[in-house]
């Protein structure tokens, strides 16, 4: 694409994922500048609408992670301002950030996801919501923020102690799901194409926030060394979820796979509508393996934003 644009890159914000967003945003901004575009970097604060109005960009690259950049709030503001923007729109963002709403949207369409239900934090101090081992996670945070695996021999107490460090200290409600043993897999979707499957092998513990964003803490095996049947199932489920939710640009679907059960042991955990674009991030890594440079990936996401608006 030869047309040079003025692109505002929205980054930062005040969610728990602010540091990641700043890395994503700077990477995107540098890539866009390398392609000859004019870039305005905007670290989002409460004056973001005024900053965007003053900048008058042709399109906004949304490099925010977590709320309010990933939950429909910023999307609604951009819609009201009449600005074109990358990634998913308001309705898709509202659904996909909420793990329970995502299940309600996808499971009836045949997408395999773990069971489970929302529990009040107070109830955890009286009894377990599910047989151990189980997983507790915030309903609407990403990047493995505040995830806890509660095991029989774990150090959270039995029942869970209010003094034990965990997501129950930060959230009034949590999603409780059965723990699925096995392997962590992820698949990126760009536009109408599923890319590859990456297996994530944390050096210790599980794939939490630190493991995701600290160089050397997690090994990425890309493409994953898994049977073709599982790789194809991951790609098809990721593509189906992307389409069913109405995602735009890039999304990333995260899976657990119990390798003792074959394809029956594959479960979608969540769909990320604002996947990371840092040097360690999975979408750029998969695109690179397929011969797409980082700037080409960024440009493809911008192009889809412009096409979606025109359509």
Q: How far apart are CA 195 and CA 161, in angstroms?
A: 42
Q: How far apart are CA 261 and CA 241, in angstroms?
A: 22
Active site residue 294: no
- Catalytic residue, candidates 88, 276, 281, 294: 276
- Catalytic residue, candidates 272, 281, 294, 304: 272
- Catalytic residue, candidates 98, 252, 253, 281: 252
Active site residue 142: no
Active site residue 143: yes
Starting at the earlier edge strand, list the strands of the sheet with 59-62.
Answer: 38-43, 6-11, 59-62
CB 238 within 8 A of CB 253: yes
Q: How far apart are CA 9 and CA 304, in angstroms?
A: 16
Identify the three-state secondary structure at position 257: strand
- Catalytic residue, candidates 17, 199, 208, 304: 17
- Catalytic residue, candidates 143, 144, 251, 253: 143
Active site residue 213: yes
Distances (CA, A) of 187 to 135, 199, 290, 305: 22, 9, 13, 21
Q: How many CB atoms lie within 10 A of CB 6?
A: 13
For the chain, the residue count is: 311
Active site residue 270: yes
Active site residue 256: no
- Catalytic residue, candidates 71, 177, 184, 254: 254
Active site residue 181: no
- Catalytic residue, candidates 166, 270, 281, 294: 270
- Catalytic residue, candidates 85, 134, 156, 213: 213
Write out the catalytic residue numbers: 17, 143, 213, 252, 254, 270, 272, 276
């Amino acid at each position: 694409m030869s047309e040079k644009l003025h692109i505002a890159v929205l980054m930062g914000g005040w969610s728990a994922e602010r540091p990641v967003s700043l890395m994503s945003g700077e990477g995107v901004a540098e890539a866009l500048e390398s392609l000859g575009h004019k870039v305005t970097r905007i670290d989002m604060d409460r004056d973001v609408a005024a900053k965007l109005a003053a900048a008058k960009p042709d399109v906004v690259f949304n490099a925010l992670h977590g709320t309010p950049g990933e939950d429909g709030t910023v999307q609604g503001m951009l819609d009201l301002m009449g600005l074109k923007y990358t990634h998913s729109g308001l309705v898709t963002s509202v659904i996909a950030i909420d793990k329970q709403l995502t299940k309600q949207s996808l499971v009836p369409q045949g997408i395999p996801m773990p069971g489970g239900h929302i529990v009040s934090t107070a109830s955890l101090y009286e009894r377990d919501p599910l047989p151990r081992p189980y997983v507790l996670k915030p309903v609407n945070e990403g990047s493995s923020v505040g995830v806890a695996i509660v095991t029989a021999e774990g150090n959270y107490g039995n029942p869970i102690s209010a003094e034990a460090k965990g997501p129950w200290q930060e959230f009034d409600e949590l999603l409780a799901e059965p723990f699925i043993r096995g392997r962590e897999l992820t698949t990126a979707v760009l536009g109408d194409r599923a890319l590859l499957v990456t297996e994530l092998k944390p050096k210790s513990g599980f794939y939490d926030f630190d493991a995701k964003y600290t160089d050397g803490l997690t090994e990425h095996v890309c493409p994953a060394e898994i049977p073709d049947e599982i790789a194809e199932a991951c790609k098809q489920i990721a593509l189906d979820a992307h389409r069913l939710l109405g995602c735009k640009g890039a999304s990333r679907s995260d899976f657990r796979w119990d390798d003792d059960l074959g394809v029956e042991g594959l479960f979608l955990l969540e769909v990320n509508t604002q996947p990371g674009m840092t040097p360690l991030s999975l979408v750029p890594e998969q695109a690179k393996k397929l011969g797409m440079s980082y700037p080409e990936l960024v440009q493809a996401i911008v192009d889809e934003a412009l096409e979606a608006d025109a359509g």
